[in-house]
Amino acid sequence: MEREHGATLTHIVVLPYPLQGHINPMLQFSKRLATKGLKVTLLTPKSIVKSMKGQASSVTFEPIDDDDDDSGELITAETMEAYDERFKAMFSHGLEGLIEKNNSYGYATKLVVYDCILPWALDIAKQHGIGAAPFITQSCTIAAIFYNLYQERFTLPLQEPEVSLPSLPLLRIDDMPSFISQPGLYPFLLKVCLEMYHNFHEVNWVFCNSFDKLEEEVVSWISSQWPIKNIGPTIPSMYLDKRLKDDKNYNLSLFKPNVDACMKWLDSKDTGTVVYVSFGSMAALGEEQMEELALGLKRSNRYFLWVVRESETEKLPTKFIEETTERGLVVTWCPQLEVLSHKAIGCFMTHCGWNSTLEALSLGVPMVVMPQWSDQATNSKFVMDVWKVGIRVKVDDKGVVTREEIELCINEVMGEKGEEMKRNTLKWKKLANEALDEGGSSDKNIEEFMAKIVQI
């Protein structure tokens, strides 16, 4: 769809951090902007561009050479700090080059939309006389928690058992992001999460992958701090408003999905009878936890589809797959959106990463949540106590979730107690769809942004 007054010449560069959970939401936002008439270029490592399946034709991809030697792997470095420095050097150069190239072609870049953990992108944009806007790939709640810490409304290490912050429910220490609850384990990542706020006062937009009604109170509070614009949930349009033609997937998978095996297996199961288990692209369970999870699934006596990454399969108990072939299917990867939207799925057992949480909410699937790190504990708190769409597992004294606990939680969500959770998920599914549909809160935010950016 083209717009008048030369809007198609309005060019925006999008710069995500090169992890699947960061690229996917920013790519989906890019598709929305492109179909409304903007020219959008997404800057990403060459190795990731090569891995993309059926690239979104509405978005241009500018590959950055990441020294992958055609291996398809992301940049490797000895430490996170070293990786960060290499990434910054390569992408700063790539961003500057892209801006200059576009200027020479006659369509000036108007704005850089950058992953919020890359605040240096704003400095580069300013050097070239253009604006920039951070994109928050986590929830508004997580952004608010770290911003409160940045503003020194509380200090680390946490001294009290509960933390009271504006617009948020009381949060226990184990409800907080792991970079805060265990600051000694992740000092560099904590530093990254705080540094991003130092130049928020210089931007006209802060985009967030959420929707207003999902986090009403915190959105209201954040709006008084900086110009937040919720534009989510950023999942492919066919699963929500269906307004973007052929937008059926994220176009990016760093793993090879076993599509046919998953879907044929699910097709053979009755409605709401299958537990889908996946802990995302990064989480790695210890061997003891892997065994407890396996045996908990076995004890539940439910059908289950379990995604176990290839690097994790050796942690499975001996003969587990052979012993559970009648009830379970273990795959190394699968098309998560297709799976979650399948009628056979009755429950999603998840690490509660933000993208997975939004997908479950948007597709009406109750959850058993087993957070591992980062924002997942906080997301879990909201899943259970605020949105009331799932149960959070309890850990024992050794920090392990036992087979008995896993069995109990699965059967609660899949049984009579789960009926209210299912009703609640359907409510959030409706609200998510309304947010992105024409005239909805997220759609309005995108339209208002469009109206202003084409005038710059």
CB-based contacts of 27: which residues, under 8 Å, 6+ apart? 14, 16, 42, 56, 59, 250, 251, 252
Q: Crossing angle of helices 187-195/140-150, nearest 10°?
A: 90
CB-based contacts of 296: which residues, under 8 Å, 6+ apart? 401, 402, 403, 404, 405, 406, 407, 410
Q: How far apart are CA 57 and CA 404, in angstroms?
A: 48
* Cα dihedral 40→41→47→51 (10° resolution): 20
pLDDT at 427: 98
pLDDT at 71 over 60: no
Instruction: Give yes or no: 115 in active site.
Output: yes
pLDDT in tens, 85-132: 888 998 999 999 888 888 777 777 999 999 999 999 999 999 999 999
**Distances from the Cα of 9 to the Cαs of 47, 55, 204, in angstroms?**
28, 21, 21
pLDDT band at 7 (very low <50, low <70, confident <90, very high): very low
Q: What is the largest CA-CA distance in the chain?
A: 65
Tell me whether residue 272 is exposed, middle or buried, using C-beta atoms within 10 angstroms of its C-beta: 0 to 12, 13 to 18, 19 or more.
Answer: middle
Domain 7-251+432-453 and domain 259-431 have a common topology: yes
CATH superfamily entry for domain 7-251+432-453? Glycogen Phosphorylase B; (3.40.50.2000)
**Nearest CA to 364 among 431, 279, 437?**
431
Instruction: Quote the tokens at residue 169.
Output: 């429910």
Which range in 8-12, 47-51, 66-70, 436-440 is most confidently predicted, on average pLDDT?
436-440
Q: How far apart are CA 378 and CA 391, in angstroms?
A: 13
| Tally of CB atoms within 10 A around 365 | 27
Task: Look at strands 109-115 and 11-15 and give their pairing.
Answer: parallel
pLDDT band at 227 (very low <50, low <70, confident <90, very high): very high
Any idea which residue has 């009604």 for tokens? 213
**Range in 74-88, 176-190, 223-237, 318-332 the model is least confident about:** 74-88
Q: How far apart are CA 227 and CA 196, in angstroms?
A: 15
Q: How far apart are CA 206 and CA 353, in angstroms?
A: 21
pLDDT at 293: 97
Please give the DSSP secondary-structure letter assigned to residue 167.
Answer: T
pLDDT in tens, 342-367: 999 999 999 999 999 999 999 999 99
- The mean pLDDT value for 28-45 works out to 92
Instruction: Quote the tokens at residue 174.
Output: 């184990």
Q: Which residue has the higher pLDDT, 299 or 3?
A: 299
CB-based contacts of 435: which residues, under 8 Å, 6+ apart? 211, 212, 213, 230, 232, 233, 441, 442, 443
Catalytic-role residue among 66, 115, 375, 443: 115
Positive/negative CA dihedral, 322, 323, 329, 330 = negative
Q: Are 102 and 108 in contact (CB under 8 A)?
A: yes
Q: Are 209 and 232 in contact (CB under 8 A)?
A: yes
| Alpha helices per DSSP H over 301-389 | 320-323, 336-340, 354-363, 376-381
| Cα-Cα end-to-end distance for the chain | 20
Q: What 3 state SS string does 387-403 have?
A: CCCEEECCCCCCCCCCH
pLDDT at 4: 40
**Range in 60-74, 204-218, 247-261 the model is least confident about:** 60-74
Task: Answer whether the bond into residue 177 is a cis peptide, omega within 30°.
Answer: no
- The mean pLDDT value for 69-84 works out to 58
Three-state secondary-structure class, residue 154: coil
Q: How far apart are CA 105 and CA 215, in angstroms?
A: 42
Q: What are phi and psi of 377, to 5 degrees?
A: -65, -40
For domain 259-431, give its CATH number from 1.10.10.10, 3.30.420.10, 3.90.230.10, 3.40.50.2000.
3.40.50.2000
pLDDT at 403: 98
Q: Which amino acid is at 254?
A: L
Q: How far apart are CA 213 and CA 441, in angstroms?
A: 9
**Range in 113-122, 255-264, 309-318, 350-359 the model is least confident about:** 255-264
pLDDT at 253: 58
pTM of the model: 0.93
Positive/negative CA dihedral, 188, 194, 195, 196 = positive
pLDDT at 454: 87
Q: Are 312 and 335 in contact (CB under 8 A)?
A: no
Q: Which amino acid is at 417?
A: K
Instruction: Give yes or no: 396 in active site.
Output: no
Q: Which helix (H) or strand (E) holds 136?
A: strand 131-136
**Nearest CA to 253 among 111, 100, 48, 399?**
48
Q: Spell out the domain ranges in the chain.
A: 7-251+432-453, 259-431
pLDDT at 249: 85
- The mean pLDDT value for 125-146 works out to 96
pLDDT at 75: 41
